[in-house]
Amino acid sequence: MSEQNPPLVALENVSRAYHAGGGLWRPRRTMRAVDQVSLAIPRGEITGIVGESGCGKSTLARLITGLIVPSEGRVLFENEDLAGLSPALMRRLRRRMQMVFQDPYSSIDPRFSIRETILEPFDVQGIPLRENEKSEKVAALLALVGLDPSLGGNYPHHLSGGQKQRVGIARALALEPALIVLDEPTASLDVSIQAQIIALLETLHARLGLTYAFISHDLGLVRYFCTRIVVMYLGSVVEILPAPRARPRHPYTSALMASTFVPDPSRRRDVQPISGEIASPYDRPPGCAFAARCPQASARCRNERPVLLTQNGHAIACHHPIE
Ligand SMILES: Nc1ncnc2c1ncn2[C@@H]1O[C@H](COP(=O)(O)OP(=O)(O)OP(=O)(O)O)[C@@H](O)[C@H]1O
Ligand code: SF4
Ligand SMILES: [Mg+2]
């Protein structure tokens, strides 16, 4: 990435530790939900972040948007280290990066009307609006996400799951952010509604020139929707595909691809579930975290942790990448 065009967000060797135990009978144990991640979120792109449950995707999302701070390493937004910002500057910067969460049922307060929900970010930021401005903003944002502007007076329980997620997106767009981190935004929706939300996100991305980080456990969806793909395993980045159709070279990505749901019933028998258990993050193996499940694992894999190496924009952390 050139200095002239730095990424919107850059993570430099970022880790986030959590602790368990520590009482009289249980020794304190530490794990890293995100473990030494270096990653760029380039402007204008849709960066997919994919991996199995518990691999650290949501923790990474919260680190990117400054909702939690790293235990080690730095998160840079437009070359500014988030850790060095005053609370006032951090609050200003929060306007520029927003999150959309998986579950619109719990991320939207049922006591707030749709209008209040959409206007909440202006309150949080202390941006005063006149009554007519409020009405104009709400109507414009609802129209932008394909909802009838007359819905503003309704309460969340009047809306379907898909409509609620559209409200979540409208709220995220309210302050005209540069970056939206979407944490499994369609995972709790029916497949047909999921497709409509993805189509809406595609339109908004093109129309508003947004940058997305799109988190999902669904590699098929990520390959369809994203312009580049980051694959995580047990808190670490194991592969970055520079294009959605790039051939995976890490055995884990390859296995994930083979285990992805195929809509065509005649091809379903090709789907291979990944066998074996994911190691506990409290008990991370010394070498490659995927070694116990990897068909290519060697003695070196079990002892030496592979580092992420980049060639022509394609990054792989593996001692024996697929040729
Ligand atoms: N606040 C916390 N305290 C302790 N452990 C946590 C905390 N948040 C996350 N973890 C642990 O960190 C690991 C990563 O969690 P995270 O929610 O980031 O994974 P994820 O990839 O988003 O999973 P999912 O696909 O299920 O949403 C898990 O082992 C989780 O239990
Ligand atoms: S480093 Fe070894 S165990 Fe890990 S993915 Fe590569 S080949 Fe498999
Ligand atoms: Mg999550």
Residue 133 lies in a domain: no
Residue 80 lies in a domain: yes
DSSP string for 213-245: EEEES-HHHHHHH-SEEEEEETTEEEEEESSTT
Tell me if 174 sits within 8 A of 145, measured CB to CB. Answer: no
Q: Report which ligand 2 atom has the smallest distance to the Cα of 295.
A: 8
42-56, 89-103, 134-148, 198-212: the lowest-pLDDT one: 89-103
Best residue among 252, 308, 319 to mutate for probing ligand 2's pocket (most ligand atoms within 8 Å of CB) is 319
Q: How far is the CA of 218 from the centre of ligand 1 (A)?
A: 17
Q: Which listed ligand is nearest to 55 at the C-alpha?
A: 1
Ligand 2 pocket, CB under 6 A: 250-252, 288, 290-291, 294, 296-297, 301, 306, 318-320
Q: How far is the CA of 237 from the centre of ligand 2 (A)?
A: 13
- Which residues form the domain of 293? 9-96+177-316
DSSP string for 35-85: EEEEEEE-TT-EEEEE-STTSSHHHHHHHHTTSS--SEEEEEETTEEGGGS
Helix axes 131-144, 114-124, angle to 10 degrees: 110
- Predicted pLDDT at 25: 78
User: Quick one: CA dihedral 210, 178, 115, 214, positive or negative?
Assistant: positive
Q: Which listed ligand is nearest to 183 at the C-alpha?
A: 3
- Predicted pLDDT at 261: 57
Residue 146 has pLDDT above 60, yes or no: yes
Per-residue pLDDT averaged across 221-225, rounded? 94
Tell me if 211 sits within 8 A of 44, measured CB to CB. Answer: yes
Compute the distance between CA of residue 160 and CA of residue 193 in angstroms, rounded to an integer.
Answer: 10
Helix axes 161-173, 131-144, angle to 10 degrees: 120
Residue 63 lies in a domain: yes
Residue 16 lies in a domain: yes
- Predicted pLDDT at 68: 95
CATH code for the domain of 35: 3.40.50.300
Residue 199 lies in a domain: yes
For the Cβ of 29 lying below 6 angstroms from any atom of ligand 1, the answer is: no
Total tally of structural domains belonging to the chain: 1
Residue 1 has pLDDT above 50, yes or no: no
Per-residue pLDDT averaged across 224-237, rounded? 97
Best residue among 14, 28, 37, 58 to mutate for probing ligand 1's pocket (most ligand atoms within 8 Å of CB) is 58
pLDDT digits (tens, 9 = 90+) for 82-106: 998 999 999 889 999 999 998 777 7
Residue 72 lies in a domain: yes
Residue 269 has pLDDT above 70, yes or no: no
Q: Which listed ligand is nearest to 231 at the C-alpha?
A: 1
Per-residue pLDDT averaged across 31-37, rounded? 96
Residue 108 lies in a domain: no
**Nearest residue (CA) to ligand 2, atom 1:** 318
